[in-house]
Amino acid sequence: MNTALSKAQMILANPTEFFKGLPGQQDVQTRMENIKHPILFLAIFLVVYCAAIPLWIAINDWILGVSVWPILDFHYGNQVFLSIHKDWFPLIYSYMGNSAISWLICVPVVYFETILTALFFAFFIHVLYSRVMGGKGMYGYALAGVCYGDLPSLLFGFLPFSAAIGLLWTGFLQFSATAHYLYGLSWNRAIVPLILFGLSLVIGWALFGTVSPPGLLDLIPLGPYGHP
């Protein structure tokens, strides 16, 4: 726990030095440790959001009610948190009819979706940086960059008007800082994935009206208790 807190403090205070030191940390650890430590870091800081899911939803609903532009996507800098508010919590509540029970069911959903997303996203950027863009690194580098770089959105990505956190702060750490410090790509090349990420959000918004389409959840009808 103390190690995770010290890492978090350094990421927030001096992310450049933290990411510079990651390759050295990864090289002296076993392959399993290179997977376990970043995932454990995610799990620890997901508690901040999971401890009060109904509260964050209520705050953002209130903000939407008084906002000039009532667009939910503007108020989440983390796509998993956005999908909980927009899709998972209403669906679960419609069958449970109880906010507390729905909240408790949402907690493992948050953990499962966040960790699974991190594992697959790390594989994607590892292939991109090492195979396509010619960088030097291993899968553990990508996973570390994704998990540690997610800290800003884990701490602040559920607050009103936090969408910029996901695009700028977390996006910069996960894409550009990871590419430059962990895979050795030049800054000119490391900034390209971040730009493409921003364009993908714009395209997703243009096509679906949201950056977090419900997917198969949209096929499940609401239960007898309806929307909360």
Separation of alpha carbons 72 and 94, rounded Å: 20
The verdict on residue 226 lying in a domain is no
DSSP 211: S
pTM of the model: 0.90
What digits encode the pLDDT tens for the residues 111-158?
A: 999 999 999 999 999 999 999 999 988 999 999 999 999 999 999 999
Percent of the chain whose pLDDT exceeds 90: 61
Q: Please tell me which of 45-54, 68-77, 198-207, 215-224 the model is most confident about, judged by mean pLDDT.
A: 45-54
Amino acid at 142: A
User: Quick one: which of 176, 146, 142 has its CA closest to 26?
Assistant: 142
Q: What is the mean pLDDT of residues 17-24?
A: 87
The verdict on residue 184 lying in a domain is yes
| pLDDT at 76 exceeding the cut of 90 | no
Q: Please give the full DSSP string across 157-206, using - where no structure is assigned.
A: TTSTT-HHIIIIIIHIIIIIIIIIIIT---HHHHHHHHHHHHHHHHHHHH
The verdict on residue 228 lying in a domain is no
Amino acid at 169: W
What digits encode the pLDDT tens for the residues 203-221?
A: 877 777 666 666 777 788 8
The verdict on residue 171 lying in a domain is yes
The verdict on residue 201 lying in a domain is yes
Q: Give Cβ neighbours of residue 57 (< 8 Å, ≥ 6 apart).
A: 84, 85, 89
Check residue 198 and give its pLDDT: 84
Check residue 108 and give its pLDDT: 96
What digits encode the pLDDT tens for the residues 83-114?
A: 999 999 999 999 999 999 999 999 999 999 99
Separation of alpha carbons 160 and 1, rounded Å: 28
* E strand map for the chain: none
Check residue 219 and give its pLDDT: 81
Domain that holds residue 148: 2-11+19-219
| pLDDT at 27 exceeding the cut of 70 | no
| pLDDT averaged over every residue in the chain | 89
The verdict on residue 90 lying in a domain is yes
Check residue 121 and give its pLDDT: 95
Q: How confident is the model at residue 25 (pLDDT cuts 50, 70, 90)?
A: confident
The verdict on residue 225 lying in a domain is no
User: Quick one: which of 79, 6, 72 has its CA closest to 41?
Assistant: 6
The verdict on residue 163 lying in a domain is yes
Q: What are phi and psi of 69, to 5 degrees?
A: -115, 90
8 A C-beta contact, residue 109 and residue 88 = yes
CB neighbourhood size of 39 (10 A): 15
| pLDDT at 73 exceeding the cut of 70 | yes
Amino acid at 188: N
Q: How many domains does the chain have?
A: 1
Q: How confident is the model at residue 6 (pLDDT cuts 50, 70, 90)?
A: very high
CB-based burial label for 202 (10 Å; 0-12, 13-18, 19+): exposed
